[in-house]
Structure 1
Amino acid sequence: MSTKIAIICSKAFMKRIISIAQNVTDIQIEFYLYRHPSEAPILVKQIKPCDALLFGGTLPYLHAQSLLSEIPIPWNYIKQDETAISTTFLSLVAKHTVPIDRISIDVMNPAFVDNVLAEIEYTGEKPHVQHISITEPTENILQRHMALWNTKSIDFVITSIHSVFDELQALQIPAMRMLDTKNSIIQCLEETKSKSLLTKSESFKAVVGLLEIPKDSSIESTILSQIAKATFSTYKQISAHTFELYTTAGHLQNALEKENLEELIQQIEQPFKLAFGYGHSILEATQNAQYALTFAKPSEIYILDEHKSLLGPFPNSKGKVSLKTDDPYVLQMAKLTSLSPLNISKLINFSHERQSAQFTSQNLAEYLQVTRRTTERIIKKLVDNGYAKVVGEEMTHQQGRPRTIYELNFATY
């Protein structure tokens, strides 16, 4: 099945893409054309069902950037870089004998022009560079080009904005559009197609859920049906107190993002455990769900993915803990401290989620959900091997010994 890509671009750029897109197999293209890049946000809201979205340049992408978090499909944009600028300069030199310092060029990043000139070891006067910004009307860019032409400071204009090119043509000012190379466009189309295929494969991964209730409890069938509906699951009862749900990663992610599942979970008055496992097969997903269930606490949801990363608990935290690692640094640390890679991964996650680098054994015990005694043993192993250090004491409001304050002393990023 071909990948349908919606492309937001100018009419002129549409013609270029059409001439190149035939080099990419298994794609369909539907164009949404603007007269000005600032119209991109309006066009985003007009897109019909498709597999991916591509912007025909950095400027339309920047105008629509704030809307992209709401788009459920992958997106991409054709980026302006040194290759485009050097190709355009080469084309200009080949077709027109125009000195570099007699050119006015508008670009998203002026540093790219400097980089190109440095690469070719150009030491003469530089071109007139106009910086494009979404906070400035493109009319201003046009006026600056025109002012340079009217004062006879330039002989030619290179523009990245198709509407500016059309205006310059109408005024009979010599100009050309920035050239995106054929290979760059093909690569961007291929990359956009790959993003779509990856998203689809991720969304259709098998997911098995396990809902477990205590032996002296029961759960209403309506609640169970609503959980299945929220996650687009089918379910079956596998024992008197355990239910299995079958869905896909895309449906489960959608339920979590919209908080439909979390709202339903809060309606269940009886204690329960709920965990999900991802896998490339039902068997693998079931095994991961069973393992995730061992971490589950009442009214919380855990997910164990196919990479053995534990996600959750939802809804209170969306942290990620790796249950396996091949990182030699973590393995060496585990060997020296006699702590499991799982505990080390939890310590790293603990560090990422805290606002302060300093902590007490009580802080860590609450995060790990273990006893103070267990936590103190973990901290002692860290301190003894130089992976944590004592940095002070915290006086309590009640009588008793002050609490020791620690800091982790190893790389957590």
Structure 2
Amino acid sequence: MPTKIAVICSKAFMNRLTSIAHEVPHIQLDFYIYNSYEETSSLMKQVKPCDVLLLAGTLPYLYAKHLLRQWPIPWTYLKQDETTISTTLLTAISKRTVTINRLSIDVMNPAFIHNVLHDIQYEDAVPFIQQIDLTTPTEQLLKNHIALWQAQQIDLVITSIHAIHDELTTLGIPVMRMLDPKSSIIRRLDEAKSLSQLTKSESAKAVAGLIELHETHDNTITTIEQLAATIHASYQLVNASRYELFTTYGHLQKALDQNQLESFFTNSKQPVKLVFGYGESILEAQKNAQQALHYASPNAISILNENKELQGPFPKVTTTLSLQTKDPYVVHMAKETKLSPLNISKIMAFSKARQSLQFTAHDLSEYLQVTRRTTERILKKLVEHDYAKIVGEEMTYQQGRPRGLYELNFSTYL
């Protein structure tokens, strides 16, 4: 089956894309044409079922950005960059016989033009640059171009906006569109196709879940049935206090994204643990779910993926912790300190979550959800091997000895 790509673009870009698309096999294009970029948001609401969305430019992307946060399928957009500027300038110079300093160009990011001119060691006067953004009306950009032409300061306008191109053409002012290189368009089509294939592959990934209860109640089965229906799962009783679920990554991820699982804990009359394991097979997913159960928090969701990364507990936090590592530095650190990769991953996450470099054993104990004694043993090992250092003391207004201030002495940005 071909990958169906919904394309939001101008009529001119549709014609260009249609002439190129045959070079990317197994795709089908479904066009939604705007007369102005402001129509992008309304066109997105008209998009019919497809595999991936392609926006033909940075400006359409900016108009659609607020909708893309919740867009249910993969999307990408054709970015304006230095390659676009280089191709357009070369075409203008070779085909229109104009000089760079006699051009008026509207562009998303003026730095792109300056970068290209710097790279080609251009040292003469720069072209007239009109910056495009959502706060500048198209009419104002058009007036700027017309004023420069009437003042005989330019010989050609290069525009990124098709409405400006059409208006200047009507007025008889020399104008050309910004040219997206053929190679850039093909790369974007390939990317759109790959995004769709990756998403479909991920969505079909096996997921096994475990529900662990202390005791059952009259509404237990009803609550579990509602959960299973939400994530399109089948379920079975494992023993008196445990149920097993089977679904796919796509169904579970959709429920998590839309916060549809919180009601499960609300409807349950007792603390309950809910975990999921991902895998390339049901057997792998089951093993990961069983391992995730060891780290689960009551009334929260924990997930162990196929890379042995522990995610959650949702919905409270969305931290990702590694239960294993192949990084030589972390492996060496784990062996030297006798700390598990999980504890090291938690400490790194703790560091990233803090605004202050210094912390107390109490701070770390609260984050790790372990006893003060356990935390002090961890810190002692880190200090002994120079992975942490004591940098001072925190004076409290309560009785007792001052609390030591620690600072980590290794990279936590891995």
Same fold per superposition (TM over 0.5): yes
Residue aligning to 1:16 = 16
Q: TM-score, normalised by structure 1?
A: 0.96
CA positional deviation for 1:279: 0.3
Match of 1:2 in 2: 2
Q: Which residue of 1 aligns with 2:199?
A: 199
Output aligned runs, 1:351-366, within 5 Å: 351-366=351-366
**2:172 counterpart residue number:** 172
Larger deviation, residues 160-169 vs 329-338: 329-338
Mapped partners of 1:306, 1:95: distance in 2: 55
In the alignment, what sits opposite 2:231? 231
Q: Distance in 2 between matches of 1:117 and 1:241?
A: 70
Q: What is the rounded CA distance, in whole Å, between the counterparts of 1:36 and 1:251 in structure 2?
A: 36
| Cα offsets for 1:319-377 (capped at 9, x unmatched) | 11011111122122223222121110010111122343332212222222222211111
Q: How many residues were matched structurally?
A: 412
RMSD across aligned positions (CA):
1.5
Q: Which amino acid aligns with 1:349?
A: A
Distance 1:65 1:14 in 2: 21
Q: Name stretches of at least 5 consecutive residues in structure 2 with no aligned partner.
A: none
Q: What is the distance in 1 between the residues matched to 2:195 and 2:163? A: 30
Q: Percentage identity across aligned positions?
A: 58
Match of 2:90 in 1: 90
Deviation sequence 1:37-85 (CA, Å, 0-9, x none): 1221121222122111111111111121122101111111111112222
Separation (CA, whole Å) in 1 of partners of 2:297 and 2:115:
56
- The letter for the 1-side match of 2:314 is F
Q: How does 1:321-400 map to 2 (within 5 A)?
A: 321-400=321-400
Q: Contact conserved, 2:265 with 2:272, CA < 8 A, in 1? A: no
SS state of the match for residue 266, structure 1?
Answer: helix
Deviation at 1:184, TM superposition (A): 0.8
Matches of 2:300 and 2:77, distance apart in 1 = 39
SS across alignment from 2:126: coil
State the alpha-carbon separation in 2 of the partners of residues 300 and 291 from structure 1: 16
How far apart, CA to CA, are the structure 2 residues paired with 1:202 and 1:35?
Answer: 36
SS state of the match for residue 393, structure 2? strand
Please give the alpha-carbon distance, in whole angstroms, between the structure 2 residues aligned to 1:120 and 1:399: 70
After the TM superposition, which of the residue ranges 119-128 and 377-386 deviates more from structure 2? 119-128
Tell me how far 1:147 sits from its aligned partner.
Answer: 0.5
Shift of 1:397: 4.3
Change (3 A) 1:125 1:271: closer
Paired residue type of 2:140: N
Hey, what does 2:253 align to over in structure 1?
253
CA pair 393-24 structure 1, distance change in 2 beyond 3 A: same
Change (3 A) 1:266 1:358: farther
CA–CA distance in structure 2, aligned partners of residues 304 and 16 of structure 1: 46
| Structure 2 residue 287 is matched with structure 1 residue 293 | no
Is 2:107 the partner of 1:107? yes
2:126 alignment counterpart: 126
The secondary structure found in structure 2 opposite 1:366 is: helix
Query: Structure 2 vs 1, CA of residues 398 and 112 (structure 1 numbering), >3 Å: closer, same or farther?
Result: closer
Q: Residue 314 of structure 2 aligns with which residue?
A: 314
Is 1:148 aligned to residue 148 of structure 2? yes
Shift of 1:217: 4.2
Q: Tell me the amino acid that sits aligned with residue 169 of structure 2.
A: Q
1:157 is paired with a residue whose SS is strand
CA–CA distance in 2 between the matches of 1:101 and 1:372? 69
Looking at structure 1, the residues matched to 402 and 126 of structure 2 have their Cα atoms a distance apart, in angstroms, of 67
1:182 maps to 182
Deviation, 1:263, is 1.6
In structure 2, the partner of 1:211 is 211
Secondary structure of the corresponding residue to residue 274 of structure 2: strand
Q: Give 1:158's aligned residue.
A: 158
The one-letter code of the counterpart of 1:315 is P
Task: Indicate the SS of the match to 2:172.
Answer: coil
Cα distance between partner residues in 1 of 2:289 and 2:331:
25
Rounded Cα–Cα distance in structure 1 between residues aligned with 2:239 and 2:49: 42
Does the 8 A contact of 2:321 with 2:342 survive in 1?
yes
CA drift of 1:192 comes to 1.1
Match of residue 401 from structure 1:
401
Aligned pairs for 1:255-274 within 5 A? 255-274=255-274
Q: Which moved more, 1:122-131 or 1:193-202?
A: 122-131
**1:284 maps to which residue?**
284
Structure 1 consecutive aligned stretches of length 4 or more whose deviation exceeds 4 Å: 216-219
